[in-house]
Amino acid sequence: MMKRKTVIIVVLILISCWAIYFYNYKQRQQASNELLILYGNVDIREVNLSFRVPGLVKRMFFEEGDVIKSGQVIAYIDREQYIDSFNEANAIVNANNAKLNKLLAGTRKEEVEQAKAHVQEQEAILVNAKLLLVRSEQGYRAGVISKQDYDEAKKQRDAASARLTLLKNALLEAVNGPRKEDIQAASMQLHAAKANAARFEKNIFYTVLNSPSDGVILTRIKEPGAYVAAGEPIYTLAINSPKWIQTYVGETNLGKIKPGMQAQITMDSYPNKVYIGKVGFISPTAEFTPKSVETQELRSSLVYRVRIIAQDPQNQLRQGMPVTVKVKI
């Protein structure tokens, strides 16, 4: 009898544990199937397109409403002035390169021999100048040569001596070759010239304007023939991809969503069509609910901005369109 009571108690305990487990499982399953409904709009993303250098607009290939692809050429400006500047800068590079190569090659044997010959020639001139000065001094003392002629002879001697000193220094430089400082300075000049030429080459590249992403031309601001400054917009582009949905979540539901969670997006134009997306950015700061967002909560409540990244291969989600977002939490 006692054994039978024990078995009954054990069975009742097992049944109770199973009932508790089943209840908790159902609660978790119900919670996992809960949907957080949010309301928002397709984010309006625009970018003003402009050249990085000033110039005269030559061609603009698209009109308002045209669909363009990323990297597509949409306009260009006159590049002649930039080509001329690059050619000039490139010529300076070649000149500095030739100068550096000459220094690196050192002095040629023929140049050294020529410098020696100049020294020898000047030494002979100095000897003659000294002899002339001696005769002039003797004549001046004897009274047959004027003081002016005597002074002129001294000047010729001094000039010949100074000229000889310069030629000897030139010969020494020719024998020793270029100094390291001169080679380093020439190398730095060449580097600066190349950098300047590269800058002008980039300017040629900047005369062509490419689309930064897929999108639609909203506004054609300028026309061919207009002169534009660097950074002055010529097009306004609406970015199509990726599509962003901007919505808001209340503080009570903030802890229920995390980046990467799957989302379902619907709109009034296609009520039966569901677009797949995922939670992207969640703002770390609170703000008051914008008037453009319809929510079931009070307008004065604080909310957090949430960005949903939507998949829209058929490009049916239009910028500014109101949508409903359902996130499984």
Strand, coil or helix: what is 144? coil
Cis bond leading into 242, ω under 30°? yes
Q: Is the domain 35-44+241-328 a CATH 2.40.30.170 member?
A: yes
Contact (CB, 8 A) for 328 and 35: yes
Strand, coil or helix: what is 277? strand
**pLDDT tens digits, one per residue of 65-120:** 999 999 999 999 999 999 999 999 999 999 999 988 888 776 667 777 788 888 88
Which amino acid is residue 324, in one-letter code? Answer: T
**pLDDT tens digits, one per residue of 183-217:** 889 999 999 999 999 999 999 999 999 999 888 99
Could you check whether 35-44+241-328 and 46-79+205-239 share the same CATH topology?
Answer: no
Contact (CB, 8 A) for 39 and 190: no
| Between residues 152 and 57, the one the model is more confident about | 57
Give Cβ neighbours of residue 171 (< 8 Å, ≥ 6 apart): 112, 115, 116, 118, 119
Give Cβ neighbours of residue 58 (< 8 Å, ≥ 6 apart): 76, 77, 78, 224
Q: Is the domain 46-79+205-239 a CATH 2.40.128.120 member?
A: no
* Exposed e or buried b per residue across 250-281, where buried means at least 16 C-beta atoms within 10 angstroms of its C-beta: beebeeebeeebebbbebeeeeeeebebebbe
**pLDDT tens digits, one per residue of 158-179:** 998 999 899 888 877 776 667 7
Residue 150 is predicted with a pLDDT of: 84
Residue ranges per structural domain of the chain: 35-44+241-328, 46-79+205-239, 84-203
